[in-house]
Amino acid sequence: MLHLRLICPSARTSEVTTVLDECTGVTNVAVLPGAAREPAGDLILCDVAREAANEVISRLKWVQDEGSIAVEQIHLALSKVAADAVEEAPGDPDDAVVWAELAHKVQAESRITWAYLAFLAIATQLAGIGVLQNSPILIVGAMVLGPEFGAIAAICFGLLRFRGRLIITSARTLVVGFAVAIAITFACALVSRWLGWIDLGNLRVNEEVQFIVKPDRWSFIVALLAGAAGVLSITAGKSSALIGVFISVTTVPAAGYVAVALALSDWGEVAGSVAQLALNIVGMLIAGTVTLAVQRKFWPQVGHRSSV
């Protein structure tokens, strides 16, 4: 269930309550006349089955211009009427995509922030050390830490909705993030080379992590599967599944390998890791966009409960 908090002008409260009465999956409706001060108006509270949220939000979209709409996730609802509302709504809660929620989420993920740059830089440095130390454990740790999938998901959403500005902003976040992370890791690796801590030999005895610079058909298939799973995990709110996506693809390890190979002037390894990075991103973009398109076309038909 989702909890909606709406503020609207008192003169239009009846319009809101009429919509709530007409929509399937709405319950626990409460109206507090004159309770809102900024913006001024009536406060309306209700619970909505996740599967029915798109219709409710769409029909009340005008409220955001004259008042406000806030949506919160209800983690526990001990109510027969709430259970009945979920049962009446078409589909299953885990399959429902609340498009307004997704749009807000990807918009936030599309921006360059200091936290994003810091996490990506640290992840890339961990990957670089993992390459030099021939350590799959460090590679996996770097995969989990990397925050890049948010920008990839934002590009997928932008492609689906033909939002050019979102695509450009997200692509810039992705490119700038990896450029900064690779530059920082390159500088650290270069200093380590000058100090004599590493040399070209480190890249000749790293059989355990050589898969990073050997992209093939399986790399692309894994990227496709990870892109689809990543989008599903975001739309369904399954954060544990998203961690699995991070561990599946070698975007951050490839970036770390690029930086280290550049510092050691191993151009063959640079080419392989760049190809791996590009292959993973392209695969995830294709699969993520297709997955969103399928969800948009078939929801709420997918998982519709039988009337029997």
Read off the tokens for 208. Answer: 């355990």
In the numeric block, the tokens 């948010």 are attached to 150
- Residue 305 is predicted with a pLDDT of 43
Task: Render pLDDT for 245-261 as a digit per residue (tens, 0 to 9).
Answer: 667 778 999 999 999 99
Least confident of 73-77, 124-128, 264-268, 303-307: 303-307
Residue 176, pLDDT > 80, answer yes
Return the domain boundaries, the chain.
Answer: 2-90, 102-298
From CA 116, how far away is CA 41, in angstroms rounded? 39
Q: What integer pLDDT is reported at residue 93 of this predicted model?
A: 73
Does residue 292 contact residue 157 with C-beta atoms inside 8 Å? yes
Q: 3-state class of 95 per DSSP?
A: helix
CA angle, residues 263, 267, 270, in degrees to nearest 5: 75
Q: Which of 108-117, 208-217, 275-284, 299-308 bottoms out in mean pLDDT, i.e. has the lowest? A: 299-308
Q: Convert 151-178 to b/e letters by CB count within 10 Å (16 or more is b).
A: bbbbbbbbbbbebeebbebbbebbeebb
Q: How many CB atoms lie within 10 A of CB 93?
A: 16
Examine the pLDDT at 278 and tell me if it is beyond 80. yes
**Phi, psi for residue 29 in degrees, rounded to 5:** -80, 130
Whether 205 has a pLDDT exceeding 70, the answer reads: yes
pLDDT at 75 (0 to 100): 85
Helix 136-145 vs helix 251-263: crossing angle, to nearest 10:
120
Backbone conformation region of residue 126, classed left if phi is above 0, alpha if psi is from -120 to 50, else beta: alpha
Residue 5's beta-bridge partner residues?
45, 70
pLDDT at 302: 45
Which is nearest to 56 in space by CA: 154, 64, 234, 292? 64
Separation CA 110–CA 33 (nearest Å): 38
Alpha-carbon distance of 280 to 278, in angstroms, equals 5
**Which of 3.90.25.10, 3.30.70.120, 3.10.20.440, 3.40.50.300 would CATH assign to domain 2-90?**
3.30.70.120
